[in-house]
Amino acid sequence: MLLAVDVGNTNITFGVLNGEKIVATFRMMSQTAHTSDEYGNNLIAMLRNNGIDRKEIEGIIIASVVPNVMHALVNSMIKYLGKHPYIVGPGIKTGIKIVTKNPAEVGPDLVVGAVAGYELYGGPVIVVDFGTATTYVIVNEKGEFTTGVVSPGIRISAKALWEDTAKLPEIEIKKPASILAQETISSMQAGLVYGQIGQTKYIINEMKRESGLTNMKVVATGGLGRMISEEVEEIDHYDPNLILHGLRIIYEKNRKTKPATEAFGDTE
């Protein structure tokens, strides 16, 4: 089985895959510092809670946008699972070509999402990821990553409201019954959710218009992606596990050519 690890700005998402099937997922906060032993013990416990023995893990792949956690996390994998992970970054085979002005600036999360969107749904495709930031990328019919848009995620916007205003409370992010809100909480919910819906529609349609790829498929993922996708007819598919499948695809492209230590160096 494969352990796929997506290190985001808010959470670390772990997925265990048996072939193309996801058999377990679990999360840890990425904003809290941990030692390699803490990561290792928590990981073993979460695997055990899902009925998975550590010896069943045959390979590991990680995509991370949080460099500070990587030393402890990678060494926990080596120490507790006995595996050197593949790390999505320069030198790894992805199957797509990044043709932006500065490919090195493209985050591994965007690359993984682009790979999954293209491999699973074909190109041209827009991949929208509703994470800490909301990101939009285009992969054309030739498998080229041509552009990306990054905007504040809905949780960032919500946090700014209740942290930077004196009288607005912390609220649950959900769609209110009507945009015609008449009290504070539903007023905030309306602004956040309908604002994200409007932004999503506009950016998708403008990306299609300016690229000339008006018939592009649109695939969405991410924590609040389901709620927004249900309100945006421009989104064709919502796939909550898109990033985990992207990691699986990248792992398969690399494992038959070079082991992780040879491809990316010894991480110890």
* Residues identified as active-site: 109
Q: In the beta sheet, which residues pair with residue 26?
A: 14
Strand pairing class (97-98; 237-238): unpaired
CA atoms of 245 and 47, how far apart (whole Å) = 19
Rg from Cα positions in the chain = 19
Q: What residues contact 209, with CB distance under 8 A and at least 6 apart?
A: none
Q: What residues contact 86, with CB distance under 8 A and at least 6 apart?
A: 59, 60, 61, 62, 92, 250, 251, 254, 255, 260, 263, 264
The DSSP letter of residue 133 is: E
Closest to 6 in 3D by CA, of 137, 170, 129: 129
